[in-house]
Amino acid sequence: MGPDLVFFLLFISISCVTCWSDNGRRHQYDYCVLGAGPAGLQMGYFLSRARRDYIILERSSGPGSFFHRFPRHRKLISINKIHTGSANKEFNLRHDWNSLLSDKSSLLFKRLSSEFYPPADTYPLYLSIFQKELGLKVQYGVDIRNVRAVQMATGVQYLLTDQQASELQCSTLLVATGLWVPQKVDFVGSELVEGYESISTNPEDYKDQTVLILGKGNSAFETAQSIMGRASFVHMLSPSPVRLAWQTHYVGDLRAVNNDLLDTYQLKSLDGLAEANLENIVIAHLKDGDSKKPEKKKKDKKKKKKKLYPRLNKFLLKQEGGKNTSEVSAEELSKYHIDNFSLREPYDRIIRCLGFRFNFSIFHSSARLQNSENAKGRLPSVTAWYEGENSPGLFVLGTAAHSRDYRQSAGGFIHGFRYTVRAVHRVLEYRNHRNPWTSTKLMTSQLQSWILKRVNEVSGLYQMVEVLGDVVLLQGSQCEYVEEFPIQALPQFTSLSGHKVSLQGLIVIIMQYGKKVTDTLGPDRARQINWTTAWRSSFLHPVLYHYDTLPTEEEMRLRPKNWALPRPKAIHHVVEDFLTNWQRPLSHIQPLQRFLEHCLQADLRSFYAESCFQSSLTHRRPPLFCQQGYLKQQGIQHVARPIERVQFSGLMPTKQDGVSSGPDPALANFLAQAGTPVSPGLRLDL
């Protein structure tokens, strides 16, 4: 066999192996992310920054495919407030509901739009720029049809099968597919109803028509607002009254930008809202020949669309075989039984606008996600750290993970889940790579300033109200500040974060609204509340919970109704502020300092250098501020007129404060460094 033939056969062999590796071999990754929407790309950024082995799989040809179709009338209702008067990036994210988190200041949404409510077409473009400039690894055109879990020697692995029957394997699966399956209600005549996902968005198509919309959410009102200027009248029907976001503080409720129809309803201009259980209604049309006003025959052969009549199921006569149909007689209409039935007039069109649900169909029974108990089962049930119930290694991200804070916080929206995605990444970093949760080590004397900085600037706590919280681990003269931990997972804090709680306990800091229902536009909404009654605050404000030990799972389960956390050893409400700026000396700073002093059993006041010097010579243990600053040769402001004198303050720690006896080594070190001779008979523990 000649060398040329050997080379040729080797080449063919390598080619076949390469071909098999591309088409027949199962590709393996540490992390697989399903979906290249905002949640998927946000997780991709964190995985890329940590240099992990990952891939993002997207069934469409580009990122953010949902925003190519929805919202149907092409205006986002996520705030894009560019001009805040501040140059602080973290603070500005409080009012930027569209940008994703990254280290590049140029990758903010304001780069593409300056409109307060931007057009929807700009968002896929923003996501495309985000993906390309950060070099995120995305495979487009991969439609995962089946997800199953298998037990292997290394643990549970997830096998993903796409539309071409190719398989991918990963140890951690991150589902960020969002909600895109239309939510439907099964009732007689539901086949006669049009869906929000397919209706015409041209207002002229509704000219002089009567329209009934099923639903009272933002998609329903968005549709009503688009057609109300052309339609004869628009009615809206749902089981519950409309909920206004400015009343409930929940961004998923009806936003003011979409509520024009409330004006026409309350000002008696034909439009209206009604309530009924959708499972108990029937949408029908009259049987042929049963109309009191027979229609005139038209010359054209085009068949006129029949009018639609909503009616209550209890007035429906039983058909042969016990089956109900959408074709009824006049005697079966609700107005035949109820003279002033609200929806007695027939409609030309009935439109379903009931939102969307999670696509459960792609999950094999071995990797099945359970339906949540809230949100009418539209969302998957997940743990407090967003891992699927009974599905280890399978995490749900973005809108689909909203079951954890449904109707409570912003976890179903970009400005909220960009922070919960980061929390999931931190969980994975410790679980899989033993990198503890991001934290900052502080001297105890710095704690108050750090807390004030956090509550006045950061966006994560501000957006994810009562979901994410800062955890302060008290460690004597020092503390460790753990940022934005899912507070419902506090019983698992050590196993999820890699940080241990000492005997000194911990403080949890969250943002929350008042629990008492108030008139959000009433005269008492902005009453001046004294800091002594800060617990009565109705608007958003910081709350600090002090515990000796981590709350247990039972304590979390039995916590008082509407409480974010179990009853603590001590609690402190920082009084609400009209400007959401908690920096006033008397109302905010001084009460916070007193609370921290109570928790730490330490004096947290600041002193000038002269006061620290005199205190060091006359007291066994100087104030904490002097111990951690002046005695360690750190700068403390000098004052030309030293009027602060320790002996006049009367607030130095005493034996009643729990200070242990014994010589203070810091004082001896200070005297030695100052060149002061220390006599063997000098007592340093006075």
What pLDDT is stored for residue 214 in this prediction? 97
Report the mean per-residue pLDDT for the chain: 86
Other Cβ atoms less than 10 A from the Cβ of 277: the count is 13
Q: What share of the chain is helix, strand, coil (3-state, %, to 5)?
A: 35, 20, 45
Both structure tokens of 266: 């309350």
Residue pair 135/152 in contact by the 8 Å Cβ criterion? no
Other Cβ atoms less than 10 A from the Cβ of 370: the count is 15
Give the residue from 321, 337, 352 where a domain finishes: 352
> Which domain CATH number covers 260?
3.50.50.60
| Cα→Cα distances 181→143, 253, 349, 354, Å | 15, 20, 22, 11
- The C-alpha angle 484, 486, 487, rounded to 5 degrees, equals 105
Q: Determine the structural domain holding residue 133 and report its residue range.
A: 27-179+357-426
* Amino acid at position 456, single letter: N
* 84 and 102 both lie in a single domain: yes
Give the residue among 382, 332, 396 at the shortest CA–CA distance from 176: 396
Domain assignment present for 621: no
Question: The tokens 């495919």 sit on which residue?
Answer: 65
Query: What is the pLDDT averaged over residues 163-192?
Result: 95
- With a CB cutoff of 8 Å and minimum separation 6, the contacts of 579 are none
pLDDT in tens, 372-423: 999 989 999 999 999 998 899 999 999 999 999 999 999 999 999 999 999 9
For strands 327-328 and 281-286, give the pairing.
Answer: parallel
- d(CA 387, CA 406) in angstroms, rounded, equals 16
| pLDDT at position 680 over 50 | no
| pLDDT at position 36 over 80 | yes
What pLDDT is stored for residue 20 in this prediction? 30
Q: What 3-state DSSP class applies to 492? A: helix
Higher pLDDT, 531 or 62: 62
For strands 144-152 and 155-162, give the pairing.
Answer: antiparallel
| Cα→Cα distances 289→325, 474, 572, Å | 17, 81, 72
What pLDDT is stored for residue 6 in this prediction? 47
Domain assignment present for 497: yes
* 163 and 218 both lie in a single domain: no
Range with lowest mean pLDDT among 139-148, 252-261, 672-681? 672-681
* 329 and 207 both lie in a single domain: yes
Both structure tokens of 467: 């979901």
CA dihedral 31, 35, 38, 40 (to 10 degrees): 0
Both structure tokens of 521: 């536009």
| pLDDT at position 527 over 70 | no
| pLDDT at position 320 over 90 | no
Both structure tokens of 15: 């080619």
Q: For 219, list phi and psi in degrees, rounded to 5.
A: -65, -35
- d(CA 331, CA 346) in angstroms, rounded, equals 15
Domain assignment present for 635: no
What pLDDT is stored for residue 280 in this prediction? 86
Question: The tokens 């591309």 sit on which residue?
Answer: 22
- With a CB cutoff of 8 Å and minimum separation 6, the contacts of 283 are 187, 188, 189, 190, 192, 193, 308, 309, 310, 326, 350
- d(CA 304, CA 286) in angstroms, rounded, equals 13
What pLDDT is stored for residue 341 in this prediction? 79
Domain assignment present for 347: yes
| pLDDT at position 640 over 70 | no
Strand order in the sheet with 327-328: 309-312, 281-286, 327-328
Give the residue from 371, 395, 426 where a domain finishes: 426
* 271 and 332 both lie in a single domain: yes
First-to-last alpha carbon distance for the chain, in angstroms, is 99
* Amino acid at position 586, single letter: L
Query: What is the pLDDT averaged over residues 226-244?
Result: 96
* Tally of structural domains, the chain: 3
Give the residue among 378, 324, 345 at the shortest CA–CA distance from 232: 345
* 65 and 36 both lie in a single domain: yes
* 567 and 487 both lie in a single domain: yes
Residue 213's Cβ-side half-sphere holds a number of Cα atoms within 13 Å equal to 29
Domain assignment present for 615: no
pLDDT in tens, 88-137: 999 999 999 999 999 999 999 999 999 999 999 999 999 999 999 999 99
Q: For 148, list phi and psi in degrees, rounded to 5.
A: -135, 155
| Cα→Cα distances 544→53, 148, 491, 547, 560, Å | 39, 43, 17, 10, 16
pLDDT in tens, 583-624: 999 999 999 999 999 999 988 888 888 888 888 888 888 888
* 112 and 149 both lie in a single domain: yes
Give the residue from 546, 578, 600 where a domain finishes: 600
Distance of CA 70 to the CA centre of its chain: 20
Question: The tokens 């038209």 sit on which residue?
Answer: 298
Angle of helix 122-134 relative to helix 38-49, nearest 10 degrees?
Answer: 10
Domain assignment present for 16: no
Domain assignment present for 274: yes
* 210 and 347 both lie in a single domain: yes
Which stretches of 547-633 are DSSP H helices?
A: 553-557, 590-600, 609-618, 624-628
* 86 and 214 both lie in a single domain: no
* 495 and 560 both lie in a single domain: yes
Domain assignment present for 1: no
* 147 and 202 both lie in a single domain: no
* 508 and 406 both lie in a single domain: no
